[in-house]
Chain A
């Protein structure tokens, strides 16, 4: 069954405490893997797209990596403003046109 699983469901960090969020997928025909950030009461905000295993992308304190089975979102020295829900999505499936979303990781960074 094609699906995307994110872990942990929730993560509490102290400001400056680096960590990683995981997104594992069992979707055939991967066309792209996407990371979004969502703040309460708002729509998701695009962060990264990764297309092939070994690819990495960075933006400020965030770095996304991709393997054949999972992706990691590394957060280096997080700040309270990084607190949000981080969503992972995969495009793929038998016709490469399906989208599968994970349930998200709620990150709380305390000062």
Chain B
């Protein structure tokens, strides 16, 4: 399997512009997670889905952020309008529900480095 695929790998945009990050989870995985990582705040969970349904979005910073999962093989994280403080590395991860926790063995993508100027 190709693993979790994220695009783009790098994104540079100006403040106020809309940004869309994309993720393709590992085929057959039930859970999909969006994270943000910065030096100041470390790794933060933004939202996660189970079978395409959002389970917990309490980590989404504010209304400027939205995430969708229209089908089992695709998810987007949108920021509109973007601000300089949104600059970070955004990771997508997926996992397969087993006998334990849904976050057992999360597989992370390579991340999207977002820079908002």
Chain A interface (Cβ < 8 Å from any Cβ of B): 31-32, 34, 42-46, 49, 51, 87, 89, 91, 97-99, 101-104
| Chain A-chain B contacts (Cβ-Cβ < 8 Å), number | 54
B12 at the interface (CB under 8 A from A): no
- Determine if B103 and A99 form an interchain contact, defined as CB atoms under 8 angstroms apart: yes
Shortest 6 CB-CB contacts between residues of A and residues of B: A43-B108, A32-B101, A99-B45, A103-B42, A101-B43, A46-B105
Taken together as a complex, chains A and B put the C-alpha atoms of A87 and B108 apart, in Å, by: 13
Structural contact, A49 and B56, CB atoms closer than 8 A: no
Q: Looking at chain B, what size class is its interface with the partner chain?
A: 20 to 34
> Does B111 touch A at the CB level, under 8 Å?
yes
Contact among A44, A45, A51, A91 with B43 in the assembled complex (CB-CB below 8 Å):
A44
Residues of chain B with a CB closer than 8 A to A31's CB:
101
Given A42-B111, A98-B56, A99-B103, 10 other A-B residues pairs in contact with their CB atoms under 8 A: A42-B110, A43-B93, A43-B110, A43-B111, A44-B108, A51-B101, A89-B103, A91-B103, A97-B55, A99-B45
Q: Give B103's nearest chain A residue, CB to CB.
A: A91
Q: Roughly how many angstroms separate A91 CA and B42 CA in the complex, as a whole number? A: 17
A46 touches B107 (CB 8 A): yes
A49 and B105 contacting across the interface, CB-CB below 8 Å: yes
Beta-carbon contact of A87 and B103 below 8 Å:
no
CB distance from A60 to the nearest CB of B (A): 17
Distance of B46 from chain A, by nearest CB (Å): 10
Counting chain A CB atoms within 10 Å of each CB, the highest count among B91, B93, B106, B111 belongs to: B106
Q: Which of B45-102 contact A (CB under 8 A)?
A: 45, 48, 55-56, 58-59, 91, 93, 100-101
Q: Does B44 belong to the interface (CB within 8 Å)?
A: yes
Contact in complex: B100, A101 (CB < 8 Å): no
In the complex, B109 has a CB within 8 A of chain A: yes
CB pair A98–B58 under 8 Å, yes or no, is yes
With A and B bound together, what is the CA distance between A44 and B107 in angstroms?
8
CB closest chain-A residue, reference B50: A97
Using A101-B44, A103-B42 as known contacts, say yes or no to A45 and B103 having CB atoms under 8 A apart: no
